[in-house]
Amino acid sequence: MRISPKAQAILIPYLVPGVAILAAALMSMQSSLLAVFSLFLMLAILTPLAHNFDRLGAKMCAKNDGFMLEACGSGMISHFRLLYRHLPTNPRCRVCFVPFGGIGRVLWVSPSRKNPNFCRSCIDSSPEGVHDTEVGVLFVDIRGFTAWSSSRPASVAAERVSHFYDLASRVLMQDDALIEFVGDQVMALYLPAFPSLRGRTADAMLQAAERLVHAAQRDRSPESLRFGIGMNFGVASIGNVRKGAQKDFTAVGDVVNTASRLQAAAGPNEIVVAETLFEKLTKPPERAEHRHIEVKGKREALPVYILQPN
């Protein structure tokens, strides 16, 4: 049976609490203790099912590749947030508010491997397929890493990359970014569809880029890190792309490729911001330098803004 997205939006938020309350009411005829136990049992079964495994989510989302994005946009997620925000305790998924601590730990709710700020249901369980939507893309890498690593043992280079991954992901996960490691670069996706980003997406990206540069400047590893950062904004194909036997929630398109190339054009501890993103900043920094840069694969030079945070 095919359930329409509109019907899903109405049914799903009430499914878990509805079944649980019905069970509790029936059981209360026997004894209140049994009712509490049955309520907990329902939550114990349904919560990890809904948040840790693909099956339930995948069935509900069948043939609708944009389900998760639509759910955010329609406000459906707000119903989950209303229920879950009362369950103890932090940390919790930043989309649906399901807790990972407290009762979340007891109920085996675990965060997404893509970003521990989100539950698996909100990210990994989204169905296979892509959906065109607006996205902010940030790329960061270690400036001069190839030249630096060529004169050092592979184990030393690997250690440096791990240190970089660790530092960059800790900084980027402070926002609702989805983190991906691409070669020796880190990519962060900012979806304005997420309730916590919306109109502040561009501002959140710039703040993250500045935090990255400051983290590189404060870094106390034997040889200090210097980052190159490129950022872009536009419409890309977002969703679960099949990679061999696995599927991966990612973004594909020109916006992503251009962001990577802007990053390649950045100097040490420099942020290159595409004009499309810069125009969305609520308070564009006055110190930004406006330039046009040649980018591989583009016929015309791209208008960008260059920033060098102090």
CB of 117 to Zn ion, least distance (A): 9
Span near Zn ion by CB under 5 A; candidates 56-64, 115-123, 168-176, 183-191: 115-123
Confirm or reject binding of residue 71 to Zn ion (CB under 5 A). no
- Judged by beta carbon, residue 93 or residue 251, the one nearer Zn ion is 93
- Residue 102 neighbours by CB distance under 10 Å: 14
Contacts of 244 (CB under 8 A, 6+ apart): none
CB of 95 to Zn ion, least distance (A): 4
- Judged by beta carbon, residue 15 or residue 288, the one nearer Zn ion is 15
Q: How many whole angstroms from its chain centre is CA 118?
A: 7
CB of 93 to Zn ion, least distance (A): 3
Confirm or reject binding of residue 119 to Zn ion (CB under 5 A). yes
Q: In the range 271-300, which residues lie near Zn ion by CB under 5 A?
A: none
Span near Zn ion by CB under 5 A; candidates 24-32, 112-120, 138-146, 254-262: 112-120
Beta strands 227-243 and 270-274 are parallel
Span near Zn ion by CB under 5 A; candidates 85-93, 104-112, 276-284, 301-309: 85-93
- Judged by beta carbon, residue 100 or residue 227, the one nearer Zn ion is 100
CB of 18 to Zn ion, least distance (A): 19
> How far is 285 from 14, CA to CA, in rounded Å?
45
# residues contacting Zn ion (CB under 5 A): 5
- Judged by beta carbon, residue 122 or residue 137, the one nearer Zn ion is 122
The residue from 60, 107, 122, 238 that contacts Zn ion (CB under 5 A) is 122
Confirm or reject binding of residue 123 to Zn ion (CB under 5 A). no
- CA-wise closest residue to 271 among 233, 298, 309, 217: 309
Specify whether the CB–CB gap between 58 and 67 falls below 8 A.
Answer: no
- Judged by beta carbon, residue 48 or residue 234, the one nearer Zn ion is 48
- Judged by beta carbon, residue 125 or residue 276, the one nearer Zn ion is 125
The 3-state secondary structure of the chain reads CCCCHHHHHHHHHHHHHHHHHHHHHHHHCCCHHHHHHHHHHHHHHHHHHHHHCHHHHHHHCCCCCCHHHHHHHHCHHHHHHHHHCCCCCCCECCCCCCECCCHHHHCCCCECCCCCCCECCCCCCCCEEEEEEEEEEEEEEECCHHHHHHCCCHHHHHHHHHHHHHHHHHHHCCCCCEEEEECCEEEEEECCCCCCCHHHHHHHHHHHHHHHHHHHHHCCCCCCCCEEEEEEEEEEEEEEEEECCEEEEEEECHHHHHHHHHHHHCCCCEEEEEHHHHCCCCCCCCCCEEEEECCCCCCCCEEEEEECCC
- Judged by beta carbon, residue 71 or residue 306, the one nearer Zn ion is 71
- Judged by beta carbon, residue 50 or residue 274, the one nearer Zn ion is 50
- Judged by beta carbon, residue 95 or residue 206, the one nearer Zn ion is 95
The residue from 60, 77, 96, 307 that contacts Zn ion (CB under 5 A) is 96
The residue from 60, 95, 103, 255 that contacts Zn ion (CB under 5 A) is 95
The residue from 93, 140, 187, 251 that contacts Zn ion (CB under 5 A) is 93
- Catalog residues that contact Zn ion under the rule CB under 5 A: 93, 95-96, 119, 122
